[in-house]
Structure 1
Amino acid sequence: MSMKPIVPGCLCLVIVGRDAGRVVTAVRLVRSEDRIYGIRAGRDGWLVEAGRDVGVYAEWGLMRIDGGDEMVAQEQHEEQPA
């Protein structure tokens, strides 16, 4: 079985750095010069969120875990408190 690509709305596991093991939702691809809440992204990669926390990870630093069901990712995102 081949791994499905990361797409906006999918659930991913962070597999690198201090946040390794954290489940996040992929939001969109960003470029290093893009601004996120007024701060430069600093690197090209996926903008991800977990609750109110956001980060940018290279695709190789994420592993898709939702099995490709975007409805599951959407339901998870809607359950997050604002």
Structure 2
Amino acid sequence: MKPESLSQLTDQELEIKLKSLKNNKIIDATLIGLSFGIVCYALINKGLGLFSILPIIFAYIVLRNSKNNKLLENEIQKEMNSRIIK
């Protein structure tokens, strides 16, 4: 989301967006933990194979997306703080 579009949102919409980003953190952490659990299980039972590589790739994608969400969360916080000051 671009900063121009953040300035067009109302305060309530920004709060809703921020709350959904915080919920996404929990979901992302759960998915990453589940992925690494699957990797450990697959490595112990079957060794290195397709089922041990795919969850690692999936966890990387989730991590990369969560970094983008963190940047968006910071931009929303800055926008909310600038509205309070004005």
The reply to whether TM is greater than 0.5 is no
Higher relative contact order structure (alpha carbons within 8 Å, sequence separation ≥ 6): 2
Larger Rg: 2
TM-score, normalised with respect to structure 2: 0.20
Higher strand proportion (structure 1 or 2)? 1
